[in-house]
Chains A and B, each alone.
Chain A
Amino acid sequence: MSDLFNVNVTVNGTLYEREVEPRILLSDFLRHDLGLTGTHVGCEHGVCGACTVLFDGNPVRSCLMFAVQTNGHEVTTVEGLGDIDDLHPIQQAFWEAHALQCGFCTPGFLTTLVPFLEENPDPSEEEIRNAISGNLCRCTGYQHIVEAVQLAAEKMRA
């Protein structure tokens, strides 16, 4: 085992201090060390998008970062978007538009879409499809997801 490193990272507004081996991926750190299992792990090589989180506000693949690299930074996971009594408008729209079936890919879609809709409050269908091209859904196809993003954009503009 290699040396342990101290990591101070703010996740969903809470400061965590942990010791990690440098090889621990951010995705595993979130799930195993912090118990935040909303971040899902699919392919572990940057293709599926299920593990997407926000790193200092930007969407990143948490399977392609080491936890040690988050020292002094901010991470937002799906747990940080909203909760069951107070869903984020994008979560609410996914629910209403039936944009998920098994739900495995959903956290990655939601975290990808938060900065996208902040930057593009009124996106075209093409822009939406482009924005989610790094997230794979194997249940349903993308039609309902695109509709949910349009609905979410409406909600967020209102």
Chain B
Amino acid sequence: MKPPPFEYYAPTTVEEALARLAEHGYDAKPLAGGQSLIPMMNFRLAQPSVLVDLNNIPDLSYIRPNEGGGLSIGAMARHSMVEKDALVAERAPLVHETMPKIATTQIRSRGTFGGSLAHADPSAELVCASVALDGKFKVVSQQRERWIPANEFFLGLFTSALEPEELLVEIQLPPFPKRTGWSLMEIARRPHDFCLIGVAATLTLGKKDQCKKARLVYLSAGDGPMVGQQAAKVLEGQSISPELFEEAAEVASSADIDPSSDIHATAEFRRHLANVLTRRALEEAYKRAIPNI
């Protein structure tokens, strides 16, 4: 299949792009890496009548350190650029670990950090990692600029808080907390394919090596990134033990997620996988938190 005709604009500045979006409203779609939008257009699942191509706006492609140890990532930074960036490896180890797991090499050459988030696919690794890391998103339009926390940005299946005339321009990640381990695990039928289930985890240890804070955010487990709130309650304040992780995994897989059945796996099987992955991810995060003590 081929995409239906559309009007095409290739602005070179953010201002120009925002003007086009304001002009065309719901009819327009920003084109970032196009690795989700173009297949949807090829199958005519998406038929925007106007495309505003962001690939000629160099100002949107950067990775910068923030004061205090955080990071700012421009929305058009390509996955391959983030994957190889030394600062990301140092300051956002969960993101560094996540990048090679996103789709395939060819997709990562072209796909962008911001595009993946704006697409709001609940099976996207970065969607869940950004929530686990308490990222925040800078969103601009001709009228205003606002910051949206990651956990308020994703509203549902392929639905974000972005208005049609708005553009996601930057992602800020706070400093990675001390005494914290991380893990991103997923199970897919083929490596790099959409996963059946996955989890992004961080685990922060307290002074007595107890669990001070735990974040578990599940991929492909519901209509958005599914936060393991009940599981976090089980973990926080408790001494680390295999039994504790087992209990958290049990609670997360039964109470925190809402997976559905399809031809690839039943909801029940996905819950089973979530249980197994939760335990493994917590164990890995714990091991990684230890050397930081």
Report A's interface with B, CB cutoff 8 A. 1-3, 5, 21-23, 25, 28, 44-46, 49, 52, 55, 58-61, 63-66, 68-69, 112, 116, 130-131, 133-134
Contact = CB atoms under 8 A, between A and B. Distances in A.
A58 B190 CA distance: 23
Contacts of B6: 2, 22-23
Given A64-B110, A65-B34, 4 more contacts: A45-B43, A46-B38, A49-B104, A59-B109
Interface in B7-63: 7-8, 10, 34-35, 38-39, 42-43, 51, 53, 55
A22 B8 contact: yes
B32 to A, nearest CB: 12
Given A23-B2, A55-B109, A58-B80, A63 B42 contact: yes
A44 B42 contact: yes
Contacts of B39: 44-46, 64
A130 B104 CA distance: 9
B105 A23 contact: no
A59 B35 CA distance: 13
B264 interface: no
The A contact surface, by secondary structure, is: mixed
Contact of A22 (B35, B51, B80): B51
11 contacts: A2-B7, A3-B7, A22-B8, A23-B6, A25-B38, A49-B106, A60-B106, A61-B107, A64-B39, A65-B34, A133-B190
Contacts, number: 87
A54 B1 CA distance: 23
B69 interface: no
Give the residue among A1, A5, A46, A59 with the most B Cβ atoms within 10 A: A46
Contacts of A61: 35, 106-107, 110
**Which 10 A-B pairs have CB atoms at the shortest separation, nearest pair first?**
A134-B104, A22-B8, A45-B39, A58-B109, A2-B5, A64-B38, A23-B3, A133-B191, A59-B106, A44-B42
Nearest to B35: A64
A58 B34 CA distance: 16
A43 to B, nearest CB: 9
B146 interface: no
